[in-house]
Amino acid sequence: MGHLGNHMLNAADFHSNDRGYGMNYLNPIHKTWVLSRLAIEMDEMPKAYDKFFVETWVESAMKYFTSRNFKVIGGDEKVYGYGRSIWAMIDTDSRQPTDIFSVRDGLIAQYIESEKACPIDKSSRVKMGSGAELIRTVDTQYSDVDMNGHINSVKYIEHILNLFDLDYYRSHRLQRLDIAYVAESHQGDQLNLYREQMAEGEFNICVDKLTPQQRERVEVCRCKVKFVKV
């Protein structure tokens, strides 16, 4: 699922760059896209050596957020699953939200495909209860950092999926993942991962960070994962 998340983010990057509102244009003017929410729901995962493609399109755009969807299809047009995501555009100097429609006179509006089907639920809020337990603490390293200078969005997914051992994956398949990003973390921050089981095969996970400078815990992201037995 982590690799699939990377493929989706790469597809979003290529798609936006090809249309003139991607990182190639934004970085020189001190702006960037930041992933806010991601939901992936798979009916089946591609097997090793299967050829598959990730299709992406913009479903809607508002002043500060845009919705982008994904479709994972095989070479024979077999549909493996779908994804939904919410993105914000920020100023890289102030780290504050930027009006998306101020970029190239609202160019993104020309590429909205609101009628294209994405038959999975939108991301839902993840509510943590009192039963969440600290499962693991992870140190962040150089290889965790992305081009924006903070921890890569997919790295959180990988750390979360590593909370479940190989035996669990032998008997369960990850059907859906919802993750909401709350704050950035950087190299040197220490990540704490808390897990709470909500139902059979359903878990909520919260990740917070401990910064070397402030020594205060700050919530970074929340995630919900749903497994089905195989």
Beta bridge partners of 105: none
Please compute the mean of the pLDDT values over residues 99-121 and round it to a whole number. 96
Mind listing the pLDDT tens digit for each residue in 151-167? Answer: 999 999 999 999 999 99
Q: State both tokens at 72.
A: 């994972």
Using 50, 70 and 90 to split pLDDT, how confident is the model at 117? very high
Mind listing the pLDDT tens digit for each residue in 37-79? Answer: 999 999 999 998 999 999 999 999 999 999 999 999 998 889 9
In angstroms, the CA 148 to CA 13 distance is 13
pLDDT of residue 21: 96
Using 50, 70 and 90 to split pLDDT, how confident is the model at 82? very high
Mind listing the pLDDT tens digit for each residue in 163-203? Answer: 999 999 999 999 999 999 999 999 999 999 999 999 999 99
The percentage of the chain sitting over the pLDDT mark of 90, rounded to a whole number, equals: 87
Q: 169 near 113, Cβ under 8 Å? A: no
Beta bridge partners of 96: none
Crossing angle of helices 2-18 and 153-161, rounded to 10°: 160
Domains of the chain: 2-111 (3.10.129.10), 133-229 (3.10.129.10)
